[in-house]
Amino acid sequence: MIVDSENRTGMDIAVYGGSFNPPHLGHREAVITALEALEPDLLLIIPDHEPPHKELEEGSPTPAQRLELCRLTFGDLDRVEISSLELERNGKSYTYDTVQELQERYPDARLTLIVGTDMILTFEEWYHFEYLLAHCRLAAMARDFEDEEKLREAAGHLRSCYGAEIILLDHAPLPMSSTELRGMLRSRLGAEDIHPDAYAAIIRCRFYDAAPELSWLREQAYTMLDERRIAHVAGCESEAIELARRWGEDPETAAEAGILHDITKRLSHEEQLNLCEKYAIICDSAERVTPKLLHAKTGAAVARERFGVRDAVYEAIRWHTTGKPDMTLLEKIIYLADYIEPTRDFPGVDTLRELAYEDLDRALLLGLQMTIEEVRSHGEEPYIDTLTACAWYEERISERRD
């Protein structure tokens, strides 16, 4: 429905409030519908500070962080402004208070509140709802196709009882719920339901205890790789998944570490050193002259900053090149997956592959020994962490035999 825009006095302002926890493409589609149908001079997106009707789920972003997610979701739309009005007030965020503030700021404006089915069905429970109906229009749209009849009935009730001015907007709903979406995010789902920039921020900060969709993570990581390395990284991921299944690690966590383990590998030695300075990574003299040694440290740091990886994944990336004494299960898996993934072809790899599925510690020791032998064959001294790890696992396996 297109509303007649002639003979207006003052500004025409549409207001879309809510917790936006998180803002999703259903919200964005509602805003686009309202812009096209109402043709407001300004549409305000107003995230609440503290919703009056519900408690925010533990792990939710702060009000300021939800405001930023709204900026990422709606900020490119014309005539849309993301407002911190309710964040500037303490306590619960009542629409009544917001409308009064807007009336003070825009005394000649016509205000239209954008509401969904759930809101209009419970509108008589809102704080000072009669004041709102007397001073604002409502622009209502269904959240689901099944809600359209309920919406018409509720609008008719408010019109007949209170003289409310209500516009029913033609709208093709994108049925989605922020509550359901938060659960999806924890299960490595939901990327297609959230604006790409907002989704990247959610994963970076791990809001809602979110874990990245692996397909999304591949897309992001592969852009950071030399094209020739993609096959290796894909192989490392698949091998890590199989090793995780064999030894009782979470396959998706192993996949995440496998996807990200080489994200700084393509960088020059100077760029690696710059990243070390940026992340306050301490480098010894051997690392400063051996580029291969640094990418594990810098890759772990970049993975944490850009993708919010948990400590277990960070450490698995950190140690996948040199190894270390007493490695965790995930660290062993990524070290060996990097070594034996399907594109690897060198003398002894088949033996190492077979051993990795029979005895993980013995396979790890063999991999460390092979690395030391390879380095020494080039007239170089192996890195101290690799030597220390090798000695530790030699003793561990010797103790097992005893």
DSSP-derived letter for residue 378 is T
Whole-number Å distance between alpha carbons of 110 and 8? 8
* pLDDT for 140 beyond 90: yes
CATH of domain 212-401: 1.10.3210.10
90 to 54, 80, 218: CA distances (angstroms): 16, 25, 42
The kind and range of the H/E element at 65 are helix 63-74
Assess contact for 173 and 145: CB atoms under 8 A: yes
Q: Is the dihedral of CA 365, 370, 376, 381 positive or negative?
A: negative
Q: What is the pLDDT of residues 272-287, one digit of tens each?
A: 999 999 999 998 888 8
Please give the full DSSP string across 158-189, using - where no structure is assigned.
Answer: HHHHH---EEEPP-------HHHHHHHHHTT-
* pLDDT for 350 beyond 80: yes
Q: How many CB atoms lie within 10 A of CB 327?
A: 22
Q: How confident is the model at residue 149 (pLDDT cuts 50, 70, 90)?
A: confident
Lowest mean pLDDT across 113-122, 136-145, 194-203: 136-145
Taking the alpha carbons at both ends of the chain, their separation in whole angstroms is: 82
Give Dmax over CA atoms of the chain in angstroms. Answer: 94
Q: Where are the beta strands (DSSP E) in 2-130?
A: 12-18, 42-47, 80-82, 110-116
Tracing tokens 């016509």 back to the chain, one arrives at 110
**Identity (one letter) of the amino acid at 375?**
V
Assess contact for 233 and 261: CB atoms under 8 A: yes
Statement: the pTM of the whole predicted model exceeds 0.75: yes
Assess contact for 291 and 269: CB atoms under 8 A: yes
Q: What is the pLDDT of residues 253-271, one digit of tens each?
A: 999 999 999 999 999 999 9
CATH architecture of the domain 12-176 equals 3-Layer(aba) Sandwich (3.40)
* pLDDT for 45 beyond 80: yes
Question: If you average pLDDT over every residue of the chain, what do you get?
Answer: 92
Q: How confident is the model at residue 1 (pLDDT cuts 50, 70, 90)?
A: very low
**Identity (one letter) of the amino acid at 395?**
E
The three-state (H, E, C) secondary structure of 124-150, written as one string: HHCCCHHHHHHHEEEEEECCCHHHHHH
DSSP-derived letter for residue 68 is H
Lowest mean pLDDT across 54-58, 93-97, 154-158, 207-211: 54-58
Q: Decide the pairing of beta strands 166-168 and 80-82.
A: unpaired
* pLDDT for 2 beyond 60: no
What are the residue ranges spanned by the domains of the chain? 12-176, 212-401
Q: What angle do CA 242, 312, 238 make, to 5 degrees?
A: 20
Q: What is the pLDDT of residues 358-372, one digit of tens each?
A: 999 999 999 999 999
Residue 142 has a pLDDT of 81
Residue 5 has a pLDDT of 37
Hey, do 12-176 and 212-401 end up sharing a CATH topology, with the first three levels equal? Answer: no
Q: What percent of the chain has pLDDT over 70?
A: 96
Whole-number Å distance between alpha carbons of 175 and 142? 9
**Identity (one letter) of the amino acid at 362?**
R
Range among 138-147, 238-247, 273-282 with highest mean pLDDT value = 238-247
* pLDDT for 8 beyond 80: no
Whole-number Å distance between alpha carbons of 58 and 88? 22
